[in-house]
Amino acid sequence: MAKEYLNYIDGKWVPSETGRVFEDRNPSDWEEVIGTFPKSSAKDVVKAIEAAKKAFPKWSKLPAPKRGEIMLRATELLVKRKEEISLLMAREMGKVITEARGDTQEAIDTGYYAFGEGRRLFSRNAPSELPDKLALTILRPVGIAGLITPWNFPMAIPSWKIFPALLSGNCVVFKPATDTPACAAEFVKIFEEAGLPPGVLNLVTGGGGEVGEAILTHPDIGVISFTGSVEVGARIAEIAGKHLKRVSLELGGKNPQIVMPSADLDLAVDGVLWGAFGTQGQRCTATSRLIIHRDVYDEMMDRLIKRVKTLRIGDPTKNETQMGPLVNEGQLKTVQEYVEIGKKEGASVAYGGERLTDGPLAKGWFHAPTILEGVKQGMRVEQEEIFGPVLSVIKVNDLDEAIRVANGVQYGLSSSIYTKDLRESMRAIEELEAGITYINAPTIGAECHMPFGGVKKTGNGHREGGWTVYEIFNEIKTVYIDYSGTLQRAQIDTDERAKISE
């Protein structure tokens, strides 16, 4: 019997008003149903928003250090349940267990950071231009936050949004991706157990078109934080623009790794294997383009092909597995289509290129790690986000060309260069159009206390992670305290007072 999950609204686990449900299946074995989940509608969203509104006055008045203590309790519960949740993640979306543990750990780290932030939430003061007057800023929560997340980091990404939103005093309506609602429900249960008051955090599962849009368009949602594709992000920006809502968008990537002649090639191979095929390439920061200097091209490709053959593909719940399945059939089809597109465009398959169905892989959405050679700038496999285990390799003549190729896409999330030359590293840091640049490390590996986000079509200028995410979930209020006992007019009385004191 599949486990029946429910929505969490106003501190209670409830079915959808619609009575409809959807199934969530294991991508390694489609016969296993992880659970059934409410296929909610706008009515459920309205209920969740009403609950959040009701809870807001009290929650936002609770001192931030006290809110921080609840974040700490939730984090400690996450620590306790790390293995169980990570295993669920491996079953629910196919991330191999070693990486799933990392995903849960990122949520733990983010929780600890939020606890600390409860005693910081720094704002500023500055001298007033008038005497006997204080000028300062304080932070106020925005109100009700609508959080919409993708499936590829089922714990980490929700944690990047939920912890800072709550710590800042907002109430939340959370809609996870339909491929990972079980992880989302377990996360919400942890907050319930940690003693979060009813209505402060609400979970509504269901489709983007129905539940997502109902959140976006509701007048009481003050801030939307979205992570997902450029297409949906653009739609959200349009709706948010119309309703004048604050919105933070973390979107796709087409991340390059550059390899220069002085690079440690074995290190560069380690980096690209991890960057391109970790989470089966389904990371926004995945390395999807390998840009190699012609002087080391053959050697680098040789070593890469030798190593890619050794990747162990199979059951993601086993410790020894290095690659699991794609998240669903649709994602597998997309990858297969892109391999065909690449071939038609003139690329050749240096490794992989096909679906894997042997033995235990027969009932899953497995695809071989795939390396496309002879890729040229402008080809679709070089320009478009595939979100799968497909690496496009481009040969270049020098660093100028490498940077030109790296920058020649609509995205700008992560980037990497392998070189021992300081000047080349510094040029990469300054010239690569990306929110993140790694030197001698792969394009993946963000740490939760540092800003995370991208330029160009990867986002709209916000940064999650670290101290910067708190800017998304707080309004700045400027406060003037005049204790002079007289009417002091800014810009007008300034000169008069200066004269008096002469």
Active site residues: 250, 284
Choice between 141 and 212, CB closer to ligand NAD: 212
Q: Does 256 bind ligand NAD (CB under 6 A)?
A: no
Task: Closer to ligand NAD by CB, 259 or 472: give it.
Answer: 472
Interhelix angle 181-193/82-93, rounded to 10 degrees, is: 160
| Alpha-carbon dihedral sign for residues 297, 299, 303, 306 | positive
**142: which DSSP letter?**
-
Q: Which two tokens stand for residue 264?
A: 């440690």
| Minimum CB distance to ligand NAD smaller for 52 or for 64 | 52
Encoded amino acid at 232, one letter: V
Residues touching ligand NAD, count (CB under 6 A): 30
151 makes contact with ligand NAD (CB under 6 A): yes
250 binds ligand NAD, rule: CB under 6 A: yes
Using the rule CB under 6 A, which residue among 64, 77, 148, 300 binds ligand NAD? 148
Q: How far apart are alpha carbons 270 and 438 in whole angstroms?
A: 14
Binding mask of the shown chain, residues 192 to 231, with x at each position contacting ligand NAD by CB under 6 A: ----------------xx--xx--x----------xxx--
Distance from chain centroid for Cα 259: 26
Within residues 275-314, the interface with ligand NAD by CB under 6 A covers 284
Tell me which of 38, 94, 164, 253 binds ligand NAD, using CB under 6 A: 253
**Site residues (CB under 6 A) for ligand NAD, limited to 105-144:** none
User: With 0-12 CB in 10 A as exposed, 13-18 as middle and 19+ as buried, what is 310?
Assistant: exposed
Q: Binding to ligand NAD by residue 103, rule CB under 6 A?
A: no
Binder to ligand NAD among 48, 177, 240, 291 (CB under 6 A)? 177
State which of positions 386-445 bind ligand NAD (CB under 6 A).
387, 413
Identify which of residues 60 and 328 has a Cβ nearer to ligand NAD in the complex: 328
Q: Give the tokens for residue 21.
A: 């449900």
List, as one string, the DSSP characters of 413-481. SEEEEE-S-HHHHHHHHHHS-SSEEEESS-S----TTS-B--SGGGBSS--BSTTTHHHHSEEEEEEEE
Is residue 37 a contact residue for ligand NAD (CB under 6 A)?
no
Least CB distance to ligand NAD at residue 411 (A):
8
446 contacts ligand NAD (rule: CB under 6 A): no
- 365 lies in the site for ligand NAD, by CB under 6 A: no
Give yes or no for residue 460 binding ligand NAD (CB under 6 A). Answer: no
**What's the min distance (Å) between Cβ of 52 and ligand NAD?**
18
> Minimum distance from CB of 399 to ligand NAD (Å)?
26
What is the spatial distance between Cα 154 and Cα 168, in angstroms, rounded to a whole number? 22
CB of 453: closest distance to ligand NAD in angstroms? 7
Q: Which amino acid is at 183?
A: C
Of 208 and 342, CB closest to ligand NAD: 208
CB of 341 to ligand NAD, least distance (A): 17
Q: Which contiguous run of DSSP H or E holds residue 163?
A: helix 156-167
User: From the CB of 429, what's the least distance to ligand NAD, in Å?
Assistant: 20
Q: Kindly write down the DSSP assignment for every residue of 66-119, as one continuous string.
A: HHHHHHHHHHHHHHHTHHHHHHHHHHHH---HHHHHHHHHHHHHHHHHHHHHTT
The burial of 319, by beta-carbon neighbours within 10 Å (0-12 exposed, 13-18 middle, 19 or more buried), is given as exposed
| Residue found under tokens 């006997």 | 132
Q: Please tell me whether residue 172 binds ligand NAD under the rule CB under 6 A.
A: no
150 binds ligand NAD (CB under 6 A): yes
Closest C-alpha to 77, from 159, 187, 166: 187
Binding positions for ligand NAD, rule: CB under 6 A: 148-153, 157, 175, 177-178, 208-209, 212-213, 216, 227-229, 232, 235-236, 250-253, 284, 385, 387, 413, 458
